[in-house]
Structures are given as structure tokens and as C-alpha cells.
Amino acid sequence: MLDEPTSALDPELVGDVLDVMKQLANEGTTMVVVTHEMGFARDVANHVVFMDGGHVIEEEVQKTFFTDQKKNVLNNFWHVFFLMLVMIWNI
């Protein structure tokens, strides 16, 4: 179980930690990861649970989760997430 394993790391270390976790996943290691690293979740997870306020909002296999968001809360999250990416990219 990993609870936000990259939350207090500088950007260089974030990449290193995510690389190790990807390697573990590729070797077949099962992990339960709480993360805001959506790219990592998309690349590594085979099952995604999206929670808000302690409640499960969406629970899907990875491909469905990232391509077919049905709930407004999830759509709002993606809108804010991609808006933040655009803002960061433009800095």
C-alpha cells in the first residue's frame, strides 16, 4: 500500500519513484496506490477507484475509467486537471 508516495518529493525524485513503481508493476507486483499522478495511474493501473469526500464515485477498469467518464464529479475533475496542465505548460 502506497499513500501519495510522491507528494513530498522534488520533481526529479518523483520521476525516479514512479519509475521504480512502474518496474514493480511490470514484474507483476500488486500495489494499492493513492495518487494524484493521473498519468502514472493511466500507464500502470489495471483498476481505478476514484474517491471524493471519502466516497467511491467511480470504479472501473483502467481503459474504461480514462475513456468513459459518466459522472459529473469525475468530468469536473478532468476539466480542472487538464486546465491545470495547460496552466503549468504555459508557465
Tens digits of per-residue pLDDT, 26-79?
Answer: 999 998 888 888 788 888 888 888 777 787 877 888 888 777 766 555 666 665
How high is the pLDDT of residue 90? 47
Q: How far apart are CA 88 and CA 21, in angstroms?
A: 25
Topology classification of domain 2-90: Rossmann fold (3.40.50)
Enumerate the domain spans of the chain: 2-90
Strand partners, 34: 3
Q: Which of 80, 51, 45 is nearest to 66 (CA)?
A: 45
pTM score > 0.85 for this model?
Answer: no
Main-chain phi, psi angles of 21, to 5 degrees: -65, -40
